[in-house]
Amino acid sequence: MSKRRFRRKKLPQEIVTLDIEALNHEGRGIARINGKVAFVDGALEGENVNAKYVRRRSSLDELSAVNISNISPHRVDPACKFSGLCGGCSLQHMNTTQQIAFKESVLIEKLRQELGENKTAFKMLNRITGDHWHYRRKARLAVRVVEKKGGALIGFREKYSSFITDMDDCKVVVAEVAQLITPLKQLITSLDMGAFVPQIEVAVGEESIRSSKKKVALVIRHLQEFTSTDLASLLQFANDHAIELYLQPQGLGSVHKVFPADGFLRLEYFLPAFGLRFLFHPMDFTQVNAGLNRAIVSHAVDLLKVAEQDTVLDLFCGLGNFTLPIATKALSVVGVEGSLEMVARGMENAEYNNLVNTEFYSADLSKCFKHEKWAARAYDKILLDPPRSGAFEIVEAISAIGAKKIVYISCNPSTLARDTKVFLDNGYRLLSAGVMDMFPHTTHVESVAEFQREDLPLDEI
């Protein structure tokens, strides 16, 4: 019996003309083709576009704009010459004021969908923005040697493709990293084992609390051992470009520093408003945008209204990014995180900053925590900063603690809205919410929501 072969249907080659009705939550234009929904990359609301097909599905079509008429007043020329191809950014064609307005509209719509109009009488917080270019201090760059392209490609994946963008610059990673793209391509191309390098992790630290000078660390993943010649070339590159170089031959546990040979496995970042310094390993999770992180931490602490008699719980605390700033103002703070390594880093940073009113615990925060020792305490205020999946499994347990105020930092407005409904069902009111532009030129929405216990006098809003 012969095997039946399934082939993907060829895409239509014709260019179609479409009127863009609105934007979806991914920032793509919404149009109709014979009644069928179409999402158009690179289009803005109100525009008329010529577009080509990039994908077809039973329920919708996906296209990319190739020519624009009736141009939106919010349209700008992208600053990056790779923006039409690279998947790292998707909103460079929209001015930055409209970008954050769009993100705010996504948050409001998600809350209204989940809560209904009668429960969305909250204060809209001021939008928090910062530098729009060269803001990204953490990145994972894909690597591939492609002979017909002349050697190594290093960068982000192309839109709608697994291919790597053939780029020599990037407008969103910090300038010190953007300047390394071409030298790194030349380096990988020259290595005997360059074809076995699939990715490079980038982490950038700060040199001092008063200086803008940055320290770059690169973690090179390699699937085969480097030759002695390769190692010599790598070390020379690190020395020439004054970077810290790590190699990763296998999993995360194999990451090791090879230059400089000082044995110090940490970078630093600073929160000047609190006089704090943070140590982190290049593979640790840290917020991508240093400037916005500073603003968000200050904003969150202000929303909590931390007083010197308060005991505060910080859930999903990581290395103490919010825990330690809160500790400078509160009586005591408990930070809880799933990763034992991050708990150790939090303790390390508390000691580094001479803070003695902090405790860190490890717990699986995807499960109810009411039997944990730290959960039996009384807390005046709670901050949580969960992953994209949100905190649905523990919202009821958080509510049961009875804290006067809760501040929720979110990187996904859909899960924030879902969890907000549970907080409201468990004795809290939503006082305020707002957006912060952690990832300019992308559709990523960072937001914050402030809750207060319903039986307490209403805060001024």
Catalytic residues: 411
- C-alpha 244/C-alpha 260 separation (Å) is 6
- C-alpha 211/C-alpha 213 separation (Å) is 5
* Among 162, 171, 169, residue whose Cα is nearest residue 144: 162
Residues facing 164 on adjacent strands:
157
* Among 271, 286, 325, 322, residue whose Cα is nearest residue 204: 286
- C-alpha 87/C-alpha 41 separation (Å) is 11
- C-alpha 49/C-alpha 31 separation (Å) is 10
Residues facing 33 on adjacent strands:
36
* Among 159, 132, 155, 165, residue whose Cα is nearest residue 65: 159
Entry field: residues in the chain: 461
- C-alpha 307/C-alpha 328 separation (Å) is 10
Provide the 10 A C-beta neighbour count for residue 116: 10
End-to-end CA distance of the chain: 72
- C-alpha 108/C-alpha 288 separation (Å) is 24
Paired tokens of 53: 């097909």
- C-alpha 174/C-alpha 133 separation (Å) is 8
Q: Please, what is the Cα angle at 320 between 371 and 395, to 5 degrees?
A: 40
Residue 78, class by beta-carbon neighbours within 10 Å (0-12 exposed, 13-18 middle, 19+ buried)? middle
CA 103 centroid distance within chain = 14
- C-alpha 405/C-alpha 410 separation (Å) is 16
- C-alpha 201/C-alpha 252 separation (Å) is 12
CA 270 centroid distance within chain = 19
- C-alpha 293/C-alpha 446 separation (Å) is 11
Paired tokens of 175: 């300038």
Q: What is the largest CA-CA distance in the chain?
A: 78
Look at the alpha carbons of 161, 163, 164, 165 in this order and tell me if their dihedral is positive or negative.
Answer: negative
